[in-house]
Amino acid sequence: MSNSVILKGGRVVDPGRSIDQLMDVGYADGILRDPAELRDPEVVDVSGCVVTPGFIDVHVHLRQPGNTAAETIATGTMAAAAGGFTTIVAMPNTTPPADTVGAIEYLRQQATQKGVVRVLPCGCLTKGRQGTEMAGIGGLAQAGVAAFSDDGNCVQDHALMRHLAEYIESFHLPILDHCEDKNLAAGGVMHEGKWSVLLGMNGLASAAEEIMVARDIILARMTGARFHIQHVSAKACVQMIADARKNRLPVTGEVTPHHIALTDECIKSYDTNFKMSPPLRSESDRQSLLAGLASGALTVIATDHAPHTDTAKKVEFDDAPFGIIGLETALPVCLSVLVHDGVLNMMQFISKLTTGPAEVLGMEHYDLRPGNAADITVFDPERQITIDPEKFRSKSRNTPFGGRTCRGMVVRTIVGGKTVFVQE
């Protein structure tokens, strides 16, 4: 075997096999191997670090084509590697949208040529993401999409969404849904509550999210289709998803680092880097998200990495676009909020970045067993860092976490046996 490596002395946390122990991990020719089988391997000392299956992010905006001033496939995948992500799902809200086979082929070609991590394309649910006419679902499925979504545009027509669910279920692919009733959400720029009143801003009620989560759960029961609820932010939605999973419906939910670390009170600074959709909500909502992660109702952490240029964000709060970047801050922020603060143990935490998203994508046996692809993340759980946006690999800097001190740092990311990131 050539190109053989042993990662020596690390704490291996592998939720897919329920392993949490000090042990070596070996790989050769891009495949995980029993370290005892390797001859003359390169030995990398990872003592003091946690070694896990490569992180998966099911919610990433790469902006190419259409807005390469904010991000490109090259810079976005470098940011993913720096964040410990070995696989990312690219959202289809590009210009033009990813609603044709040609658009999917373009993404694949660019990712192969310029990407440093695995990029899985997501196809549109409807033509042009307009919510009125079904996209070419069959052709997109044959082109190899990993999922379907209209991303920021939630399909408002319930009958159309039912037909989409019935058709997509036949391909055994998931629907990733940004749940928002447009009529209830119209004009809202932050969470409707105490702080929207105090700041004199238009509120966006939790009910806008709740109604569509309820709709999707009903359709999951009707059709058997797999619904994944993106960036859950409201307390009532956590309970609905918990009940759905208790009833064994094919429903999953994700939370973002910003929704578990921040609240609507942050917006009193009027910093547009705190503007996202769904909005930062109350402390009560945040606590419900933490409880949902701890109970297992919420199985996925996803970044909703949404790059915007400084020019786009440096405007009045009402006029600024929604969204922040998150690939490079996810590990330190989430590790600090969830593990170091005692919400989750390390095994539970790693599952939200590995087996949880793998379940959404239908990836079986996503773990570090010999024979699998050598997709590996190594991080130092105790290393204290201060987040510095100027050091990001991403092309954009729109983060609310600049200057925040956290514990946890990615030190090495390996994709198919190739080291794509090493902390200097």
* Cα torsion angle, 93, 97, 98, 103, sign: negative
Looking at this protein, which amino acid is placed at residue 128?
Answer: G
Query: How far is residue 148's CA from residue 138's CA, in Å, rounded to a whole number?
Result: 11
Q: How many CB atoms lie within 10 A of CB 47?
A: 10
Q: How many CB atoms lie within 10 A of CB 189?
A: 21
* Cα torsion angle, 261, 54, 51, 394, sign: negative
Q: To which residue do tokens 């919510």 refer? A: 131
Q: Give backbone dihedrals phi and psi of 376, rounded to 5 degrees, phi first.
A: -140, 140
Residue 20's nearest CA partner among 347, 299, 331 is 347
Q: Are 79 and 410 in contact (CB under 8 A)?
A: no
Residue 287's nearest CA partner among 340, 234, 333 is 234
Tell me: cis bond preceding 257? Omega within 30 of 0 counts. no
Looking at this protein, which amino acid is placed at residue 278?
Answer: P
State yes or no: is 304 an active-site residue: yes
Looking at this protein, which amino acid is placed at residue 188?
Answer: G
- Please give the DSSP secondary-structure letter assigned to residue 119: E
Residue 210's nearest CA partner among 288, 319, 137, 142 is 288
User: Active site residue: 24, 99, 151, 304, which one?
Assistant: 304
CA atoms within 13 A on the CB side of 277: 23
CA atoms within 13 A on the CB side of 228: 28
Instruction: Give whole-number Cα distances, 39 to 27, 34, 36, in Å.
Output: 11, 11, 8
Helices (H), 297-395: 310-313, 330-334, 346-353, 355-360
Instruction: Give whole-number Cα distances, 211 to 20, 160, 240, 250, 319, in Å.
Output: 40, 16, 11, 18, 26
- Which positions are annotated as active-site residues? 304
